[in-house]
Structure 1
Amino acid sequence: MLVFPAERLQALTQAIFERVGAPPDIAQRVAEALVESNLAGHDSHGVIRIPSYVEAVRRGHVIPDARPTVQKESAVLALVDGGWAFGQVSAAFATDLAVRKAREHGLAVVGIVRCTHIGRLGEYPTMAAAQNVASLIVAGGFGGPGATAAPYGGARPLFGTNPLAIGFPVKDRPPVIIDFATTAVAAGKIQVALAKGEPLPPGAILDRHGRPTTDPRDYYEGGMLLPFGGHKGYGLAVAVELLGRVLTGADLFAEPGRGGPVYERSGVLILAIATGAFQDVETVLAEAARTVARIKAVPPAEGFAEVLVPGEPEFRTRAERLRTGLPVPETTWHAIVQTAQSLGLDVSLFGLPATVGG
């Protein structure tokens, strides 16, 4: 395992995306999002994605200089056309729009269509919580030729990972952030397990014949993801599909060759609610803090050091990795170096090794 300073990885990542045609501000936004995912401990949505993002640009699935626009709008609703831009750009734009509307009107709902991979969903409720806005975000429509997840009881993939995230601000503490895929593992975590040479937990995937397996290679040889919690995770996956794809009308915006097999019909829905919608903001934030304190005061069960609230592991990991650096598997780093070199970039100019042994 290699370890690099976050700022060096971010500088290289931004340079890579500038080389494939992204303006500096867009390249910076995508680089920040990827490195922040690593900092939070979600390596599956971090710099490991660089080679696949570059390939998506080369294939025309992503338009590197595209910017999102508002397709239709009212006081509390908006539909954002991502224009096949980098998903992190579209989702940040839509989150900011939802937050502004919620702060003015109490709540807002914003959909995104023609939207590519938006990265770690928990990033967007974190943005909203920083402005005292509670939020829910769902991302669906990853089916079709790129389907990766079987429905409960099924032996053929129909959905994607169909993730969701919820955020709530807390007085004098980091926000509560709930962020998970509705599958037992996210597809990116299989990529990480493969890079590390580690098995997957039981109950995470089936092989191409519909048989349970823990070998991450089986997933890439025609296997499929399973919903977490059996029928409960499956029920959430269906809800995400209906809200993210069906409600936004994402199918109507599909274009041949754009988005790729996974994201050509994807849609995102953001619900934002001002914490002052029903009572004084400070009252709500203080009660959220008391609620978190009551949770933290519960004695830990055997095998646990303490009770954690959702989002707490990520905030702790971020502080630790800012101090110690970001761990990157050797296979991941090799792929990143190859991608950089294919674009005429010398990674050593960023204070990073051009070879694993460097």
Structure 2
Amino acid sequence: MAVNSKIELADERIILSVDKVNKLLINLFISLGCSKEIAFEISEHLIDSSLCGVESHGVFRALQYKKWYETGYLSISPKPKLRELSSNTYEIDGDGGLGIPVMNFAFKKAIEYSEKNGITATAIKNIGHTGRLGYYADYAANKGLMTILISGGNRKDWSQVAPYGGIEGKLPTNPWCIGFPGGKNGSVVLDFATSKISGGLIYAAKSAGGLLPEGCIIDKKGNLTRNPDHYFDGGAILPFGKHKGFGLSLIAQLVAESMLGEIKKEANWLLIAINTSTYNTRNQLKEFADKILSDVINCETAFGFNDIKIPGEIERNNKVNSDNKIYLPKKTWEQLITIVSKQNKKL
């Protein structure tokens, strides 16, 4: 499978089996003190992201997570707490742990409660990085739920994105994710940062020694650049869609910080889950969804396009066509091998 990467590499990629990467990642996280169950959840999530072609949230993230565990930024053995605030509203405190296991838990609970009550709203707080949001939305959509996930980040630590018209990083990348049950071709999943690129892609490019796409980041003087080092030297990411992306980011920040309260870790999250069968039967919904999606994709294409892609389709196709192989930058894999070797010597 060819790799459709946003990163321009100076070095080559190597082809790795899922099994080989999985064993290394589980070994790494267990050596850091994670339980086998948590290590498996993290590894499975990162590998899935890589197979889906979402490099910014894939296997390379293990390098960041290792650093955060070692510095104490992330709790090794968190004990998340769920409490009901009022009718159909909940709050989950992740106890300072990595967000992937906590978000898995949050979505499962949201599905459970929404299937009974029709709709739920859940605040998710005090957690670290949550991985690829589309992973959770796709899972819920396949269960018949529409989900809306909004994130506002910790501005003290993650002032990455310049407001429209500015050159200083003032806001985090504040992603949104919306998932909806589709028809025969799968769910519709819209997962996007409100910046032109995710922060993870910049870290991935730096880790791999690569360059970023044009027009996405600026240096500290406001000049466009492709060099990830310029971002780390006082630069910023630009908002996507100019004032539109900036507006979505600002709303997310207000929700997360002014409504949900203090942001103790990476971000606060609001998850809204709706049981679609409250309004229509699953079969009727799928029938109508198929008609809408079929009509939309049956559109004459513009120059340079072969077809119309529904949100989430590219990731699904990448995974199906991956043959369970991960194309990882050689430099990233060598770093992972080195840190796992050092960890094993410590044990």
Q: Tell me if 1:60 matches 2:61.
A: no
Which residue in 2 is equivalent to 1:131?
143
Q: Distance between the aligned counterparts of 1:170 and 1:90, measured in 2?
A: 26
Which residue in 2 is equivalent to 1:268?
269
Deviation of 1:51 after TM superposition, in Å, equals 1.5
Deviation of 1:197 after TM superposition, in Å, equals 4.4
Q: Which SS does the other structure have where 1:122 is aligned?
A: helix
Q: Distance between the aligned counterparts of 2:15 and 2:283, measured in 1?
A: 41
Q: Tell me if 1:141 matches 2:153.
A: yes
Letter in 2 for 1:343: Q
Q: Which SS does the other structure have where 2:127 is aligned?
A: coil
Q: Tell me if 1:240 matches 2:252.
A: yes
Which residue in 1 is equivalent to 2:319?
318
Q: Distance between the aligned counterparts of 2:345 and 2:276, measured in 1?
A: 46
The total of aligned residue pairs comes to 334
Letter in 1 for 2:112: R
1:168 aligned to which of 180, 183, 194: 180
Q: Which SS does the other structure have where 1:202 is aligned?
A: coil
Q: Distance between the aligned counterparts of 1:56 and 1:197, measured in 2?
A: 21
Q: Which SS does the other structure have where 1:55 is aligned?
A: helix
- Structure showing the higher strand proportion among its residues: 2
Which residue in 1 is equivalent to 2:37?
25
Which residue in 1 is equivalent to 2:304?
303
Is 2:209–2:331's contact at 8 Å kept on the other side of the alignment? no
Q: CA distance change for structure 1 residues 100 and 345 in 2, over 3 Å: closer, same or farther?
A: farther
Deviation of 1:324 after TM superposition, in Å, equals 5.7
1:192 aligned to which of 204, 215, 224: 204
Is 2:51–2:324's contact at 8 Å kept on the other side of the alignment? no
Question: What is the percentage of aligned positions where both structures have the same residue?
Answer: 28
Of 134-143 and 26-35, the range deviating more from structure 2: 134-143
Of 307-316 and 165-174, the range deviating more from structure 2: 165-174
Q: Distance between the aligned counterparts of 1:330 and 1:67, measured in 2?
A: 36
Q: Which SS does the other structure have where 2:29 is aligned?
A: helix
Is 2:179–2:187's contact at 8 Å kept on the other side of the alignment? yes
Q: Tell me if 1:277 matches 2:278.
A: yes
Q: Tell me if 1:201 matches 2:201.
A: no
Q: Distance between the aligned counterparts of 1:29 and 1:64, measured in 2?
A: 14
**Cα deviation code 1:72-122 (max 9, x no counterpart):** 444411000011111001111111111111111111111111011001111
Deviation of 1:280 after TM superposition, in Å, equals 2.1
Q: Which SS does the other structure have where 1:270 is aligned?
A: strand
Which residue in 2 is equivalent to 1:338?
338
Q: Distance between the aligned counterparts of 1:78 and 1:226, measured in 2?
A: 34
Q: Which SS does the other structure have where 2:74 is aligned?
A: coil
**Cα deviation code 1:41-100 (max 9, x no counterpart):** 011111101111011011111112213211444441100001111100111111111111
Q: Which SS does the other structure have where 1:227 is aligned?
A: coil
Q: Distance between the aligned counterparts of 1:43 and 1:201, measured in 2?
A: 14
Q: Distance between the aligned counterparts of 1:326 and 1:169, measured in 2?
A: 28
Q: Which SS does the other structure have where 1:286 is aligned?
A: helix
Q: Distance between the aligned counterparts of 1:66 and 1:31, measured in 2?
A: 18
Q: Distance between the aligned counterparts of 1:324 and 1:283, measured in 2?
A: 34
Q: Tell me if 1:292 matches 2:304.
A: no
Q: Distance between the aligned counterparts of 1:196 and 1:59, measured in 2?
A: 23
Which residue in 2 is equivalent to 1:351?
none
Q: What are structure 1's unaligned runs of at least 5 residues?
A: 347-358
Q: For the aligned residues, what is the CA RMSD?
A: 1.7
Letter in 1 for 2:344: G
Letter in 1 for 2:153: G
Q: What is the TM-score with the length of structure 1 in the denominator?
A: 0.89
Is 2:189–2:312's contact at 8 Å kept on the other side of the alignment? yes
Q: Which SS does the other structure have where 2:284 is aligned?
A: helix
Which residue in 2 is equivalent to 1:86?
98
Q: Which SS does the other structure have where 2:277 is aligned?
A: coil
Is 1:142–1:162's contact at 8 Å kept on the other side of the alignment? no
Q: CA distance change for structure 1 residues 93 and 345 in 2, over 3 Å: closer, same or farther?
A: farther
Is 1:114–1:250's contact at 8 Å kept on the other side of the alignment? no
Q: Distance between the aligned counterparts of 1:271 and 1:43, measured in 2?
A: 27
Deviation of 1:281 after TM superposition, in Å, equals 2.4
Q: Which SS does the other structure have where 1:111 is aligned?
A: strand
Is 2:18–2:324's contact at 8 Å kept on the other side of the alignment? no
Q: Which SS does the other structure have where 1:145 is aligned?
A: coil
Is 2:148–2:176's contact at 8 Å kept on the other side of the alignment? yes
Which residue in 2 is equivalent to 1:355?
none
Deviation of 1:333 after TM superposition, in Å, equals 0.8
Q: CA distance change for structure 1 residues 213 and 272 in 2, over 3 Å: closer, same or farther?
A: same
